[in-house]
Amino acid sequence: MDQAIDYLAPRIGARPEVGVVLGSGLGAFADELAGARTFPYGEVPGWPQSTAVGHAGKLVFGGIVGRGVAVMSGRAHLYEGHPMHKVVFGVCALARLGVRAFVFTNAAGGINLSYGQGALVLISDHINLQGTNPLLGPNDESLGPRFPDMSDAYDPEFRATAKAVGAGLGVDLPEGVYAGLLGPSYETPAEIRYLRAIGADLVGMSTVGEVIAARHMGIRCMAISCVTNMAAGILPQKINHEEVLETGARVRSTLVALLRTLIPRLEI
Ligand code: HPA
């Protein structure tokens, strides 16, 4: 981590305030930044590489309406074989570089029948079913407490701001609970019935560890899921990764517009 910070700190220009993590097929926002400085993950010492198709694997520092932003286009997932500390490496590194708020995006399967394919959903809470946690092991008291509270993990003020911005742009932003699973196999229809019964509206394979690590450090978070497909067993069709990427591509411009307007308005 120290090596990554030593590498990036002198090269990134102004300190970033907001970190943005872009999920599968959602990378376009990185091209929006003014004065962009781009670092392929492979260039930064210790930065985990993303092998998932649809993940660009680059870090972009720049500005939106005068606000310093750091974008991770592509993330490391547990299912790629990365240990949890590598999955949250980027979040921890950006925190050390000054980021005080995170906006996560991801592709998710829709469990709640009121969502349509391509819907953008504000995550209101999560259920961690990944069987692990980034805070396992000795606690670094300089970062945060041993037993951090997760009551408002997805910041209520940020969510209200996002809804207001969405309304201004004509983008409906329903809220939902995200169940984070290990993957990489998609769920079975029985698993989706179980997830619905325990209160999940969305299912995906990322985000929960990153949010836990960020909240441990007291960093405010919000997350937007793109419902790239209805979850297993809901529609009489199979789920495939191409569909996930295609839907991501279809809503890309809406998501970019939303992020571009929202990020300067987050009060941090
Ligand atoms: N399940 C899990 N993760 C996903 C899905 C899904 O249906 N779609 C996109 N990411």
What are the structural domain ranges in the chain? 2-136+155-265
Check residue 54 and give its pLDDT: 62
Q: How far is the CA of 206 from the centre of ligand 1 (A)?
A: 10
Q: How far is the CA of 108 from the centre of ligand 1 (A)?
A: 4
Q: Can you state the angle between helices 156-169 and 241-265, rounded to 10 degrees?
A: 100
Q: Is 84 part of the annotated catalytic residue set?
A: no
Tens digits of residue pLDDT in 130-171: 999 999 999 999 999 999 999 999 999 999 999 999 999 999
Check residue 247 and give its pLDDT: 87
Nearest Cα to Cα of residue 71 among 25, 96, 37, 119: 37
Ligand 1 closest atom vs CA 186: 1
Check residue 24 and give its pLDDT: 74
Provide the CATH topology of domain 2-136+155-265.
Rossmann fold (3.40.50)
27 against 93, higher pLDDT? 93
Check residue 212 and give its pLDDT: 98
- The residue from 205, 214, 222, 232 that is catalytic is 205
Ligand 1 closest atom vs CA 229: 8
Q: How far is the CA of 16 from the centre of ligand 1 (A)?
A: 30
Check residue 50 and give its pLDDT: 80
113 alpha-carbon distance from chain centroid: 23
Q: Above 70 in pLDDT, residue 215? A: yes
Average pLDDT taken over every residue of the chain: 94
Three-state secondary structure of 50-108? CCCCCCCCEEEEEEECCEEEEEEECCCCHHHCCCHHHHCHHHHHHHHCCCCEEEEEEEE
